Each structure stands twice: as C-alpha cells, then as structure tokens.
Amino acid sequence: MLQPHQPLLDAAVPPQRSPARDQAGPWHSEAVCRRDEAGLFFAPSKEPTAARLSREEAAKRVCARCPVMVECREHALLQPEPYGVWGGLTAAERRVVLARRRRREAELQRTVRVAAAG
C-alpha cells in the first residue's frame, strides 16, 4: 500500500490494466504526479480545512492533465486506498463512488433475481 509521502513508483500495480499500458510498462510510470511533490496528494497531520481544500484542488489539477488518471482512479478504488488524492478523487469522493457502485450492483442482482423468478 502506498503510504503518505511515498513515491508513486512504489505503489502496487493493479492486475486490471489495459494491454497498451502493459506493453509500455506499469501505468504509474506515466503518472504526472511522479514529477510533483508527493505532499500535494497527501494531507499533513492537523491540516486546517482551508489549506486541505486548496491542496486537494491543486492535486486535482495535476490529475486532470495526467494520461493515466483513469488507471490511477481504478487502482485507488480497487485497493481501496484510504488516503490521498488518486485519479482526481479524494478519499471521501472515492468512498461515495464505491457506495454508488455497491448500490448499483445490489440493484442489478435484485433485477436478475426478479427476472429469474418470473
């Protein structure tokens, strides 16, 4: 698991990568954040709210120009990464995405059961 202030290149690579990325190397080798300060993506202890929001917005701007943003986001959702900005999403935003995915999956399973019973 990637720890705060640990370079992205040490992160575990998710098993679900696109074939093009597999040929070019791990997805994180192309991450724009490798060239930026890691502190931008992870909160220091006792960070004031205004400073956190500003830092997160700056991190998201870096993510927005990253060619592997989607792979990074999926990595963070599949792990799940509990801290930091990954793929343009904060930890709280990732929790919302995961909750929505679980609800959709549960709805789909209910629909399948109803269709099979009917």
Tell me whether residue 112 is annotated as binding: no
Closest listed residue to residue 63, CA positions, set 48, 84, 43 = 84
As beta bridge partners, residue 89 has 86
Tell me whether residue 39 is annotated as binding: no
The structure tokens 């006792």 sit at 46
Q: 3-state SS of 7-31?
A: CHHHCCCCCCCCHHHHHHCCHHHHC
Tell me whether residue 66 is annotated as binding: yes
Tell me whether residue 80 is annotated as binding: no
Helices of type H across the chain: 19-24, 49-64, 69-78, 91-117
Report d(CA 3, CA 7) in Å as an integer. Answer: 8
Binding site residue list for [4Fe-4S] cluster: 33, 63, 66, 72
Binding site residue list: 33, 63, 66, 72
